[in-house]
Chain A
Amino acid sequence: MLEYFLSFLILTGAIFTFIGSLGLLRLKDLFTRLHGPTKATTLGVGCLLIASAVYFSTYTEAISLHEILITLFLFITAPISAHLLAKAALHLDLQSIAKIPENDEVEESGTDAAIIDDIKDSVKESNPASINDTPVPLDETDLQKKP
Chain B
Amino acid sequence: MTRLLPHPILTPVLTVIWLLLNNSIDAGHIVLGLILGWAIPVLTIHFWPETVIIRKPLMLIKYTIVLLFDIIMANFTVARLILGNPDRLQPVFVKLPLDLNSDLAISLLANSITLTPGTLSAQLSEDCSYLLVHALNETDPKSLIATIKQRYEHPLKEIFESC
Contacts and interface: CB of A to CB of B under 8 A. Distances in A.
To the question of whether A and B form a pair in one complex, the answer is yes
A90 interface: yes
B125 to A, nearest CB: 7
Given A32-B89, A43-B72, 5 more contacts: A31-B122, A32-B136, A34-B120, A35-B81, A69-B21
Q: Which of B83, B123, B126 has the most CB of A within 10 A?
A: B123
23 contacts: A31-B120, A31-B134, A32-B89, A32-B136, A34-B120, A34-B134, A38-B114, A38-B120, A39-B71, A39-B78, A43-B72, A44-B75, A62-B23, A64-B23, A69-B17, A79-B114, A86-B121, A86-B134, A87-B123, A90-B122, A98-B91, A98-B134, A99-B93
Dominant secondary structure at the A interface: helix
Nearest to A39: B78
A83 B95 contact: no
B105 interface: no
Contact of A32 (B23, B83, B91): B91
Interface residues of B, number: 36
Interface in B86-115: 86-87, 89, 91-93, 95, 110-111, 114-115
Interface residues of A, number: 45
Interface of A: 16, 19-20, 22-23, 26-29, 31-32, 34-36, 38-40, 42-44, 62, 64-66, 68-69, 75-76, 78-80, 82-83, 86-87, 90, 96-101, 104-105, 108
